[in-house]
Amino acid sequence: MEKTMSAVLVVCLAVASLASAGDVWTHRGRDASRNSAVEAAPPSIAVPRFVATAGDIELVGQSAPVVADHKVFVCGRRTTIVNRTQTVVTDMLVAFSEIDGHLLWAEPVGVAQWDSFSPPTVDVARGHVLMASGMTVTALDMDTGALAWQTTLGTRPVVNSSICVCGSMAYVTDYTGAATGAKLHALNLDPNHPTLAEGAVAWRQSIHMGGGNEVTVAPSSPMLIATDAGGYLRQFSPGGSAGWILEVPGAGGFWPPPTYGAFFGGAAVVDGCIYAATYEFYGYEDSGQLYCVDAGTGETLWAEPAERTDTIPIVTGSLVLLSAGIDGYGSRPKVEAFDRATGRKLWEWTGGGGWSVQPVLVGDILYVGVLPVDDEYAPCTELVALDITRTPDDPGFVIESFPGAGSSPAFANGNLYTIGENGLCAFGPEIILAGAPSVVVTVEDGLDWVYQNTPGIMARGGHRVTLTVTVTDLNGNQGVTVTAAKRPGSGTGEVTVADGATPLEKILFGSDRSLGLHGSLVVDVTVTGDVAGSTTIGVPFTCRKLGDIDGNGGAEPTDMALLVNTLNGRQPADIHNKAVDLDCNGGAEPTDMALLVNILNGMPVY
């Protein structure tokens, strides 16, 4: 394969990724809509940024990582020998640091069955990572790995299925193999639910057969889409009410099987359409079927022959991409591209992909693994980057490859994460954790006070003081926003905050004199980074009574003496110009004397 690198990928090597906790990859298929595509700069896969291992825990080869809060979660297995002859396998949920790959924690989950490679799913809202393994669903704290809750689903295991998290519910299907009677389970995630505990089963619905099936949720609709290994696509409401059902030809039977196979993986929902492909056990190449279905009605918009697969199609503006195939049985691993509008097959590439290999599309670059020939449950042997703006016959279609990685990648913070023979591989730029910016707040002329205002004074601009923020260290942010407000309970004084001439300035106006809200207060200035972090600085301040020139608590004859001296050219050095400009017309004048006389005599001031 070609080892050259296009310019768009080379640039990514030189630029560190500014990361925030919001950049996540929570499901197999990115999120609950399960379309593994993201608009971002594609990373180079020439050299991994790190290869992470977990001691004696072997990472499950065809499982998919998920990423949240700068942690990468994968499933693993620890094999121990007891009494020299007995082998004990413990299934584990493993967390690595996204920053440098060091092992954060590893905790046991339910015992997997049938060589399941079910990946974890992140419940960001509650800070949990969920995994269905064996007959249980386990929720662990993302930070510590502590057990949050664990639920036994029943007597059937979950095999190769990943949980779908949407709102306060988690959805997962169980496995029946050749038997019927599978269930879709809905689990409560809300710790404040009035009747259900966290992890409790909220409802169950029957599906015909279970074999790696998954639930998908459309971004613009609350309706659930569940695949069914009996040959069905099913719609459910969030409360479990059944909606439309799509049947593939021959659905409902194991033998004879459905004509074009049945659904053994998940579906993607994009722009109101469902894209799902079948696995057909007994045909030759392209004996399965790729479906495009109206998500609202269940109507088939098009259905075209495709290679057998358990993977989820990836949908772009013009293409539907499918990783499919198995080595043998009339099939072979490949990546196929179909016209999104018509379903017409445009090209296929037989250098990688496969029935269990879920690719990721970053920009126009498709990252896909190559299945091992001797053990299709083992980690992929190679990760390949394909330029989907070209076809397999074009020069430069294969951009780059890396041996020893490729299993169902995840993408977050500019990095690709994938399991290989030697561990979890990360490809992409160094991740810089953004934090709270370092700032200094200065007040105009060092003033720590502002006079009360009146409507007439406000008409001339008002008594005001400007606060200015200086950012001394962005700390990984590209920019900041500034807010200012009185700290609750900090004193009797009140001010009004307005925007200044620049985004880093705030103007404090004294409160209306008629309200009598004078005295001390603290103004909290909060500077928030555009990536992460915020800094709050408290500025002690006073809203002075109008006419309190010397700042001793109120207008008095001593203030009149100061104003007289100022008018006579003998302004004290410690008296600021703002203190003697009572009417806010530009400086100390006889009108200020008249205003102060009115204040001292208790007369109205406008």
The DSSP 8-state label assigned to residue 257 in this structure reads: P
- Residue 39 has a CB neighbour count (10 Å cut-off) of 8
Residue whose pair of structure tokens reads 């059944």 in the numeric block = 242
User: Residue 79 is inside which H or E element, if any?
Assistant: strand 71-82
Separation of alpha carbons 584 and 606, rounded Å: 12
Specify the pLDDT at position 16. Answer: 56
pLDDT of 129 > 50? The answer is yes
**Which stretch of 19-28, 306-315, 379-388 has the lowest confidence by average pLDDT?**
19-28
Specify the pLDDT at position 11. Answer: 33
Give the angle 22-25-28 at the CA atoms, nearest 5°. Answer: 160
Helices 590-600 & 557-567 angle (0-180, nearest 10): 170
pLDDT of 502 > 70? The answer is yes
Domains present along the chain, CATH in parentheses = 7-433 (2.130.10.10), 434-544 (2.60.40.10), 550-606 (1.10.1330)
Report whether 129 contacts 140 (CB < 8 A): yes
> What number is the average pLDDT over the span 577-600?
92
- Return the closest-CA partner of residue 158 out of 186, 136, 138, 126: 136
pLDDT of 381 > 70? The answer is yes
User: 3-state DSSP call for residue 447?
Assistant: coil
Q: How confident is the model at residue 423 (pLDDT cuts 50, 70, 90)?
A: very high
- Tokens found for residue 603: 């007369």
Specify the pLDDT at position 3. Answer: 28
Report whether 186 contacts 201 (CB < 8 A): yes
Q: How confident is the model at residue 499 (pLDDT cuts 50, 70, 90)?
A: very high
> What number is the average pLDDT over the span 390-408?
96
- Return the closest-CA partner of residue 318 out of 388, 411, 400, 238: 388
First to last CA, the chain: 83
pLDDT of 512 > 80? The answer is yes
Specify the pLDDT at position 17. Answer: 55
Specify the pLDDT at position 8. Answer: 35
- Return the closest-CA partner of residue 500 out of 466, 461, 528, 547: 466
- Tokens found for residue 511: 């409160």
Show Cβ contacts of residue 446 under 8 Å, excluding neighbours closer than 6 positions.
Answer: none
pLDDT of 455 > 60? The answer is yes
**Whole-prediction pTM value?**
0.79
Task: Work out whether strand 431-433 and strand 17-19 pair parallel, antiparallel, or are unpaired.
Answer: parallel
Report whether 511 contacts 493 (CB < 8 A): yes
> What number is the average pLDDT over the span 554-571?
92
Report whether 367 contacts 382 (CB < 8 A): no
How does pLDDT run across 326-359, given as a tens digit for each residue?
Answer: 998 889 999 999 999 999 999 999 999 999 999 9
User: 3-state DSSP call for residue 545?
Assistant: coil
